[in-house]
């Protein structure tokens, strides 16, 4: 069930996100752990995206994704939801 009407639908805005928060947006019906695991798998399997992320300073051990990193992910995967 969508909690927004068509007029109220919020557009995705790149900003600082916790990795698990963004993962849950891409995998809304999964558990937090499963969404995070699937999200990491998507990232690792897209070589071009990973090269761009690493050039932007991506750290796989950091809990947060910076706005430029989120923009790169959305460029390659599309907007979540």
DSSP 8-68: TPPPP----EEHHHHHHHHSTTS-HHHHHHHHHHHHHH-HHHHHHHHHTT--TT-SEE-HH
* 8 Å CB contact between 41 and 27: no
Residue 57 inside a domain? The answer is yes
The pTM of this model reads: 0.84
Q: Determine the structural domain holding residue 57 and report its residue range.
A: 17-77
Structurally, how many domains does the chain consist of?
1
Walking along the chain (81 residues) 10 residues at a time, the average pLDDT comes out as 50 94 97 96 95 96 96 96 78
What pLDDT, in 10s, does the model give residues 26-39? 999 999 999 999 99
């Amino acid at each position: 069930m969508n909690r927004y009407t068509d007029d109220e639908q919020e557009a995705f805005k790149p900003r600082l996100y916790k990795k698990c928060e963004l993962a849950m947006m891409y995998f809304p019906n999964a558990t937090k752990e499963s969404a995070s695991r699937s999200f990491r798998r998507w990232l690792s399997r897209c070589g071009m995206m990973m090269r761009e992320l690493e050039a932007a300073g991506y750290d796989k051990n950091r809990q947060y994704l910076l706005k430029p990193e989120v923009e790169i992910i959305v460029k390659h995967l599309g907007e979540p939801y």
